[in-house]
Structure 1
Amino acid sequence: MATPFDSLDDFIALPRTEAVALSPDGRTAVLTVAALKKDGTGYDRSLWSVPADGSGTPRRLTRSAKGEAGAAFTASGDLLFVSARPDAEGDADDESGQLWLLPAAGGEARPVTRLSGGVDAVAATAEASDRIVVSASLLPGAETLEAEAGLRARRKEKKVSAILHETYPVRFWDHDLGPAEPHLLALDTDALADTIAAAVADTAAEKEEKADAAADAADAPDAAASDEKPYPATLPRPRDLTPRPGRSADIAGASLTPDGTTLIAAMQRQEQRGGRYVIVSIDTETGVQTVLFDEARVDFDSPVVSHDGSTFAYMRSAKSTPEGPTDAEVWVAGIDGSDPRRLVADWDRWATSLAWDAGDAALIATADDDGRGPVFRIPLDGGAPEALTADDFTYSHVSVDRRSGDLVALRSSWVTPPHPVRIARDGSVTPLATPAAAAEGPGSIVEVETAAADGVRVRGWLLLPDGASADAPAPLLLWIHGGPLSSWNAWSWRWAPLLAVARGYAVLLPDPALSTGYGLDFIARGWNAWGAAPYTDLLAITDAVEARDDIDAERTAAMGGSFGGYMANWVAGHTDRFRAIVTHASLWALDQFAGTTDMSVYWQEIFTPEAMAENSPHRFVRDIRTPLLVVHGDKDYRVPIGEGLRLWSELAEHHADDDGRMPHRFLYFPDENHWILKPQHAVVWYETVFAFLAEHVLGKEPTRPELLG
């Protein structure tokens, strides 16, 4: 039976559910859904409403050429989102994303902000007040919103893109930092003046401003003309809670008290080349800040305020050193920072999200666990965490229905894309309606495990193509995850093993040393020694899978991205057992990488200089005997393009013939980053990978994707 995974064009056209938000009354879930544009070159995002009890059908709420994302609810049930859709009262050429509000009572969505640089995201909303906090980037050389708009206009007019940095870092993942700085802005949505009279008054104020400017120009003809416009009086004027913030408002979570008067935020405190996160309380009327938790070499993040506003929960993590990884601790404290105490100190898992249970007697958390990502209830009375889900899925975007105590979330696995569900108090799960129904995938999935050289259990997922058997064993792809602090436990649109399964490959998704969900000791096995236990774990579980009679041990390949690319390079320099290796966005020379990545201090703090040298794959380039497909994007700031360029240069230095030819290939994307995000580039990526594997693993003739010229 044909599936959408048989065709790359069909695959990229699958609609994708990216987020879910729950209304204050618990009756409605709003989904953010991405759908392929008609020309196939990008994705449009829209918001859809579905009943939160599993009944009914999806109803589309938004439709614009620019799309919508970042959905959140106000206390009164109005829906907030960020969009660059045109504003009838704004400038026609303004393409910045603004905050919009869709009234719960019905009617058209309307803008809430008109910031010259737009709104980045909704940072927090209040449960019993229409006060919200947004994150937005403002130029440091302006004192007012009007002056900031004028300064942006002059930079645009003069085509100036230069950035003067005074601190480190200067880049993050896929974008340059600056010149604008992140700010937290408070505003009250009930201050919207959506009346004809207010609009007339706003227009009159703008005309008066222009008249004043003209008069000033007449009085002083040699003076520079002002391009400032008054901020619209019809919109609530944002209050800057973080004036002159530097990078401190690059937050790691924020939460408002129910009445909206206090924001609890994890803010950056700048250090020499990095920083640490501290917990700060901010008065949303005055902007007065009070530091609640700040310790040297400790990060505090993910604060979330209780429903009654008396308490907040947060994560505390001491910074890791070469000696070993540190734990991610769950703590609670009074809203003023009093009486802090750690919960579940003996719980050997790392919470990936926190929320308050309906009655504030427990926390709701998600965490990686044994190749899955369950939902847990963590009681405040000192009891042990309770797993609320017991299936093979990983859960995210968890919201609590305060009326019933049920939860709404997204869940996914390696055979099922993210989809919305309701989780009852007894743990039963009900799928919700969705416009992005999960597509039927090929093959089957089984859990596999083995004992590593030190006796530790190492496990993973094995996806098998239809028809794999002792009479027709399948070729094997070893896919190595990134991170390295990660786990193969949830769907990824970028790494989609079902595409390989549809082409007849078995795919092994193992969790070697350094993987999350198996406890701190399991991570520590590979700490400061990436080329040791992580490598031998991978070979051990590959040996176990190759021993199966439905696997063809003579036709195998390995592939990975980021840390997985590092490990693919390490594998290439230490064994010739694989017929082909794909290495994407890979770390090659660790000394070079550690100084050029966007956050160099972290990598240099977790390695000793000796371990960084010993575990660098570039030292073994002469030993490579396996054909490599090297893939890199020029806009990758986490693993800079220099890694791919140096790898390619050194492969040519040691393995090219007299005519400069070698069995290796280099797929280069000038305008992609750590991920390959443009749909047609994703198609080219998979076409190139599968052609390379077909040549070296299946023995087919070399082919070249058409669009590569």
Structure 2
Amino acid sequence: MRLTLAVALLAATSPASAQTLHQYGGLALSAAGDRMATIEGNGGHNVVTIRAAADGHVVRTIDPCPTCSYAGLTFAPNGDLVFLSRDTSAGTVRLTYADAKTTRTIATIGGIAQTPRVSPDGKRIALLVTLGAAKESGATQAGVRMIGEIGEKNDEQRLAVFDITRTNEAVKPLSPAGRYVYEYDWTPDGRGFVATTALGNGDNNWWVATLDAIDAQTGAIRAIAKPTMQINQPRVSPDGRSVAYIGGLMSDFGSIGGDVYTVGLGGGTPRNITQGAKSTATTIDWTRAGLRVVTLAGDQVQFGTLTPGQPVVPGFAKPVSTAAGDGRAAFSADGRVAAAVVQDYERAPAIYAGSIVAPGAGVKQVTHDNDAAPALAAARSISWKNDGYDVQGWLLAPRVAPTGKAPMITIVHGGPSAASTPNYLYPTSLNAALVKAGYYVFLPNPRGSYGQGEAFTAANKRDFGGGDLRDILAGIDAVERVAPVDDKRLGLGGCSYGGFMAMWANTQTDRFKGIVAGAGLSNWVSYYGTNGIDQWLLPFFGKSMYDDMKAYEDVSAIYQAKRAKTPTFIYVGERDIEVPPTQSIEWWHALKDRNVPVSLVIYPDAGHCVTGPEQSADVRQRAIAWFDRYVKAAR
């Protein structure tokens, strides 16, 4: 439930605006730290680009399949590149190997695939494969139609291994049938893997995934640990004795945040080596020089060195957001060089790279394709205290200050375990459109968010819509003390957990004049029995709905619908697994019955938060019109 209304609507960027902005995707860094690979383009078909890490100049472009999209960039130890070429029309994915001069297909997968990784000796490639996939991987993707006997067949993402010297090798999954593999890492001796895995439905069971070892010859599974929280990014130490991972309260696979834990490869009790840190780890890597980490600390993203029991020593710290491959930054094998795609609200994406340990060297910007991209808003970090917590958020303001006081829209991020971080405002994104229309936009990170430590992230357990809503309202007060915001013209929006908050706030306060709720939860009782990811609720509520129904009733807007008065626009995808459209229908019916102005649009075949370009553009237009009608015009 991590998507926010603002993030979902970035997909609505028009082709014209996309062509003016250079895109960098899936960044990978070579083991030597001298070259980077990214998927790049200015709209339309993208190509694989290899750049020098020192200055960002293009060394080579690779485009073996003009009808394919590319993903999964990873370097072999010798500096060759491995990636995936997906041909959607054929329903296949090619595992592609590129040396200094040529490219060739090692295997063709009938289905979907992700996360190739080359063995330490450079002779094999491991890959996660879903043969004959019925849907895209992940619960945020549109689900299959619920017809026939349900719950009897699930997509299985399994680990397969291929010989680099062969071409068009047959696909034979290594890991056992019935077990979904989420993430993995080779052991240094190449004899096996560590992985996060779970039996049964892959969309639903990540919240109960275990840390396991997989034999590279037989596929046999051996348990290493069964953590009491969600786990991401298992990484094996160079000596092969230990495993590190990020563990914490996470509400979505892929929304990574928590503390860093280590455990022996042979098994044992995991040890929290960042206990009490006032920051959230979002990426880890175990290099020859030790652990490297990316953390979110308040409004700062830090790349640094992690020593157990000590604060992170940052080699880079800025109020930005980052993205690289399946994490937030990439590191060289010796731990000296880091690289990432960096952006903020006022500056478009650029690649940053450099040393995080050498004095005076530093991580610096090495690409400049987007330097001329305009800043569409003025952004500032806002901090405040509430109920004893330090809370932070972002305020976006028009570049030219409006005359007098202006209306403001608060956008609540999804999750709740996530954070609003500085992403460049595309010209046709919702936030940019709101700012252009004269609104301030407030993006709070209340308790339950990343960035203030794991205790802060866990502070909304069994308290959805309680302390976090108080934090948001206190944040609005903090904004009004420093910006000319009209308290009589406030609006509220969000998708997923943000959609829940938008629905719930309607029953708790009359402060907002207009609300937009995307893929929201109005009834946690009925939601528990109809969604496709019920396991995510257990870490937050402690018990299932059937064992503690009152806890779910207490935070359900539907049980307090008589108190709702604020006009609300609701939208949802027809094939949403995470939050079924019935949740929106229930809330629409409740508001309509109470004669509260309400509009509901269900988008055909859409998944969570409606991310398709045409449909999300329609959502954006309707949302702005709703806010204009009920917020801007309010007096």
Q: Please tell me the TM-score bracket, short chain as reference.
A: 0.7 to 0.9
The residue matched to 1:483 in structure 2 has which SS?
coil
1:433 maps to 367
Label 1:58 to 1:615 Cα distance change in 2 as closer, same or farther (>3 A): farther
* Residues 30-70 of structure 1, C-alpha deviations (whole Å, 9 max, x = no match): 11236543xxxxxx443222211124247532261222111
Amino acid at match of 2:225: F
Deviation at 1:488, TM superposition (A): 1.2
SS at match of 2:619: helix
Please name the residue that 2:7 is paired with.
none
Q: How does 1:519-558 map to 2 (within 5 A)?
A: 519-548=453-482, 550-558=484-492
Q: Does 1:585 align with 2:519?
A: yes
Partner in structure 1 of residue 130 of structure 2 = 137
- Map of 2:77 onto structure 1: 75
Indicate if the aligned counterparts of 1:557 and 1:693 stay in contact, CA closer than 8 A.
yes
After TM superposition, list the pairs within 5 Å mapping 1:299-698 onto structure 2: 300-316=231-247, 328-337=258-267, 341-359=271-289, 362-380=290-308, 382-397=309-324, 398-402=329-333, 405-424=336-355, 425=357, 426=359, 428-433=362-367, 439-452=373-386, 454-468=387-401, 471-491=403-423, 497-548=431-482, 550-604=484-538, 606-607=540-541, 608-655=548-595, 663-698=597-632
Percent of pairs with identical residues: 23
| Counterpart residue identity of residue 386, structure 1 | V
Instruction: Please point out which of 242, 250, 261 is paired with 2:175.
Output: 242
Deviates more, 1:685-694 or 1:631-640: 685-694
Task: Map Cα deviations across residues 336-360 of structure 1 (whole Å, 9 max, x no partner).
Answer: 447965423333444222102342x
Secondary structure of the equivalent of 1:430? strand
Tell me, yes or no, if the aligned pair for 1:573 and 1:620 is still in contact at 8 Å: yes
- Quote how far apart the aligned CAs of 1:437 are: 5.7
Q: Which amino acid aligns with 1:254?
A: Y
8 A Cα contact 2:243 2:263, kept in partner: yes
Give the Å deviation of 1:106. Answer: 0.8
Whole-Å separation in 1 of the counterparts to 2:608 and 2:281: 25
SS at match of 2:180: coil
> Which of the pair has the greater relative contact order for Cα pairs under 8 Å at 6+ separation?
2
The 2-side partners of 1:458 and 1:335 are apart by 38
- Residues 11 and 612 in structure 2, CA contact (< 8 A), matched pair in contact too: no
What is the distance in 1 between the residues matched to 2:187 and 2:283?
A: 18
Letter in 1 for 2:318: D
Question: What is residue 46 of structure 1 aligned with on the other side?
Answer: 47
In 2, distance between residues paired with 1:641 and 1:346? 39
The structure-2 alpha-carbon separation of the partners of 1:286 and 1:547, relative to structure 1 and needing over 3 Å to count, comes to closer
Larger radius of gyration: 1
Residue ranges of structure 1 left out of the alignment (5+ in a row): 38-43, 87-92, 140-151, 153-160, 163-168, 193-233, 321-326, 656-661, 701-709
What whole-Å deviation, never above 9, does each CA across 1:140-168 have from its counterpart, x for those lacking one? xxxxxxxxxxxx9xxxxxxxx89xxxxxx
Corresponding residue number in structure 1 for 2:26: 19
Query: How far 1:533 sits from its partner (Å)?
Result: 1.1
Indicate conservation of the 8 Å contact 1:269/1:276, yes or no: no
> Cα gap change, 1:171/1:489 in structure 2, threshold over 3 Å: closer, same or farther?
closer
CA distance in 1, matches of 2:555, 2:539: 15
Residue 280 (structure 1) aligns with: 212
Contact 1:379 1:385 in 2 (8 A): yes
Q: Give matches, 1:124-273, under 5 Å.
A: 124-138=117-131, 173-176=141-144, 178-189=153-164, 191-192=165-166, 234-243=167-176, 245-246=177-178, 248-251=179-182, 253-269=183-199
> What TM-score comes out, normalization by structure 2 length?
0.84
What SS does the aligned partner of 2:584 have? helix
Instruction: Give, in angstroms, the shift of residue 249 of structure 1.
Output: 2.7
AA in 1 matched with 2:451: G
1:25–1:643: structure 2 CA closer, same or farther, 3 Å change rule? same
C-alpha contact (below 8 Å) 1:547/1:553 kept by paired residues? no
Tell me the SS of whatever aligns to 1:374.
strand
Q: What is the CA-CA distance between 1:413 and the residue it aligns to?
A: 2.7
Compute the displacement of 1:269 (Å).
4.5
Equivalent residue letter for 1:451: K
> Structure 1 residues 689, 235: CA separation in 2 closer, same or farther (over 3 Å shift)?
same
Taking a change above 3 Å as real, the CA distance of residues 300 and 370 of structure 1, as seen in their structure-2 partners, is closer
Deviations 1:223-260 (A, max 9, x none): xxxxxxxxxxx4334453213x21x2332x21113443
Q: Secondary structure at the match of 1:522?
A: helix
> Shift of the alpha carbon at 1:73?
1.8
Instruction: Identify which range, 596-605 or 271-280, moves more after superposition.
Output: 271-280
Instruction: Give yes or no for contact 2:93–2:108 (8 Å, CA) kept in 1.
Output: no
Per-residue deviation, residues 395-448 of structure 1 (Å, max 9, x unmatched) = 343222236711112223333344321142248321122656672222311122
In structure 2, the residue matched to 1:206 is none
Q: In structure 2, what residue type is equivalent to 1:19?
A: G
Q: CA deviation at 1:619?
A: 2.1
Corresponding residue to 1:112 among 100, 106, 117:
106
TM-score if structure 1 supplies the norm length? 0.76
Residue 353 of structure 2 aligns with an amino acid whose one-letter code is: R
Please give the alpha-carbon distance, in whole angstroms, between the structure 2 residues aligned to 1:173 and 1:7: 19
Task: Determine the C-alpha separation between the residues in 1 that align with 2:111 and 2:200.
Answer: 25
Greater strand fraction, Structure 1 or Structure 2: 2
Structure 2 Cα separation of the partners of residues 496 and 419 of structure 1: 22
CA offsets per residue over residues 512-532 of structure 1, 9 Å max, x none?
Answer: 121221134433443212222
Deviation, structure 1 residue 383: 3.4
**Aligned partners of 1:237, 1:477: CA distance in 2, in Å?**
54
Q: For 1:111, give the aligned amino acid.
A: T
CA contact (8 A) 1:9 1:683 kept: no
Q: Note closer, same or farther for the CA distance 1:100–1:696 as it changes in structure 2 (3 Å cut).
A: same
Residues 5 and 498, structure 1, Cα contact 8 Å, conserved in 2: no
Matches within 5 A, 1:97-108: 97-103=93-99, 105-107=100-102
* Aligned residue identity for 1:183: R
Change beyond 3 A, Cα 1:636–1:495: farther
* Whole-Å separation in 1 of the counterparts to 2:234 and 2:111: 25
Q: Is the 8 A contact 2:280 2:452 kept in 1?
A: no
CA displacement, residues 649-697 of structure 1 (integer Å, 9 cap, x when unaligned): 2222221xxxxxx632223211211133222222222221112222223
Aligned length: 593
Deviation for aligned residue 1:310: 4.5
Amino acid aligned to 1:578? F
Give the Cα separation in 2 of the matches to 1:602 and 1:669. Answer: 25
CA distance in structure 1 between the partners assigned to 2:486 and 2:461 by the alignment = 33
Contact 2:11 2:611 in 1 (8 A): no
The 8 Å contact of residues 365 and 378 in structure 1, kept in 2 or not, is answered as: yes
